[in-house]
Structure 1
Amino acid sequence: MNFGEKLKQIRTARNLTQPQFAEAIGIEQSYLSKLENDKSQPSADMFSSIVKALQLAPQEFLADIDRAILQSSLRHIPEVSQFLNGEVQRRLHDARKYIWGAAAACLLGFAMMLAANDGIFFANNLYKYKSQGVILDGESDQIFEQFPKIESLKMAARTITTEESLKSQADFEANRVKVQTIEVWGNRGGVFFEPAGNGKRKFELVDVTYVHSSKNILLQYLGALLMFSGVLLVLVEWRMRKAGGGRHVAA
């Protein structure tokens, strides 16, 4: 929309004839006709008189006029220059917001992908622990390793026979050795204990396997999505600005 079209649009919307409007502004009807048909451009004083007569703020009047026309034909009017400079500042401010937002999204996305790969929030290592059985209250924590040695010492001291030792070890194996294996994501150290029945179980680390957990896979997908969104945000902002006729401003 050019200046004349905007002027005529407002006049007709208010049901004013050219003579009525020309009188309100204080100009000849012929000059108003030239303005509406873009055969003449208003001076700075004339523009001020027009917006004052219309009871409009300059930026309200100028908002719908093509920026190219403002730049080429109306730049000499202080209110127009101020309006255009304000738009540049707004575009710059908006562009910076988009760029900062996009940069934050990309950085956060990259951090999430890195955290998922390194297992910072959710472990990627699966720890396998094994327990031989329940250690009764008062027994040594090494009872399952020491029992065969104890039986051997008894035989050496001739306190029991070989048959008695073999039977004792068989009974121990049958009644006490109850192997339990568990797998956990968190590292609980080389050895840890857990209560069990009338005693406790001693779990020893036997294997560590790298397994990319489903939580970290999801975290990586979310990180990649954030990075993609950051790039897309800049592209969409640039396309919208280009489509709107604005000049893309880089921060």
Structure 2
Amino acid sequence: MKFGERLKQLRQRQNLTQPEMAQAIGIEQSYLSKLENDKSVPSADMLDAILGCLNMSLQQFLSPLSATAMNSLSTIPAVKEWQSNTQYNLQRKRKIWLKIYAIAVIVGSCCIVAGSQALIFGEKSYQYVSKGIVYPGESKEVFSNWRHIYHQQMEGASDEQRDEIRQKMASKGVEMIKRENEYYLVESNYQGELFNIDVESGSRTFRLTAVKDTINRANQLLLLLGWLVLLTGLLGYINDWRLHRQP
């Protein structure tokens, strides 16, 4: 919009005729007509008088004007200062948005890598089994090594002692069969080959028995989020380049 168009628009909006507005400003009607037809450029004092008549701030008056119209008024100090401040604010906002786009690209890329490589949410399940409850004072792996203890006792023992050990071993075997009470756990994170959990009457020793591949929906959502954020950042850069590229 040109300066003259803006001036005429605001005069008509306030239901003022050219003579009425010229009288309010303190100028000839012919001069006001030249201003409205862009045949003359107002001075700094004249612009102040026009703004006072319209009861409007400089920013309100200048905002709709085109770049060409602004250049014709750039000799007025107040207009030049307003242009400088506006340009500074636009550049400042642009830098902020460029930083936001950069962060979006970085965050989106990280989410894509994390989702595709299952860095945060694992895509394996680990199955553990505990054969029974281990009583206080027993070896944590008593269900798998109790026989080994008796075999060690037999080494170097006499025939009579071995018979006694075999009897104890048979009795212990019956006891261990009765104590067997398998309990399974499936974990999404690796807990090691063995780990222990305290229970009411002792503890349970869990041994890894199987590792299975699974599909984790969290990684799929992370991938989707990553692509959305990445594309938002890239589109922001493209849009900024289109708006600010040289003609």
TM range (shorter): 0.7 to 0.9
Counterparts in 2 of 1:80-229, with a 5 A limit? Answer: 80-116=79-115, 121-150=120-149, 152=151, 153=154, 157-160=161-164, 168=171, 171=174, 174-196=177-199, 198-208=201-211, 211=214, 213-229=216-232
Give % identity: 34
1:39 to partner: Cα distance: 2.5
User: Which residue number in structure 2 is paired with residue 245 of structure 1?
Assistant: none
- Aligned partners of 1:181, 1:55: CA distance in 2, in Å? 81
Q: Secondary structure of 1:159's partner?
A: helix
User: Which residue number in structure 2 is paired with residue 233 of structure 1?
Assistant: 236
User: Which residue number in structure 2 is paired with residue 31 of structure 1?
Assistant: 31
Q: Secondary structure of 1:129's partner?
A: strand
User: Which residue number in structure 1 is paired with residue 10 of structure 2?
Assistant: 10
TM-score between the two structures when normalised by the length of structure 2: 0.78
1:146 to partner: Cα distance: 2.9
Q: CA RMSD in A?
A: 3.3
Is the alpha carbon distance of 1:32 and 1:141 closer, same or farther for their aligned partners in structure 2, counting shifts above 3 Å?
closer
- Aligned partners of 1:37, 1:102: CA distance in 2, in Å? 44
Question: Could you list the runs of 5+ residues in structure 2 that have no partner in the other structure?
Answer: none
Checking the alignment, whether the CA contact within 8 Å between 2:150 and 2:165 is kept in structure 1 is no
- Aligned partners of 2:15, 2:102: CA distance in 1, in Å? 51
1:55 to partner: Cα distance: 2.9
Is the alpha carbon distance of 1:52 and 1:26 closer, same or farther for their aligned partners in structure 2, counting shifts above 3 Å?
same
1:206 to partner: Cα distance: 4.2
TM-score between the two structures when normalised by the length of structure 1: 0.77
Q: Secondary structure of 1:87's partner?
A: helix
- Aligned partners of 1:5, 1:186: CA distance in 2, in Å? 71
- Aligned partners of 1:30, 1:227: CA distance in 2, in Å? 59
Is the alpha carbon distance of 1:32 and 1:135 closer, same or farther for their aligned partners in structure 2, counting shifts above 3 Å?
same
- Aligned partners of 1:66, 1:7: CA distance in 2, in Å? 13
- What is the number of equivalent residue pairs in this alignment? 241
- Aligned partners of 1:74, 1:122: CA distance in 2, in Å? 61
Checking the alignment, whether the CA contact within 8 Å between 1:155 and 1:165 is kept in structure 2 is no
Is the alpha carbon distance of 1:150 and 1:61 closer, same or farther for their aligned partners in structure 2, counting shifts above 3 Å?
closer
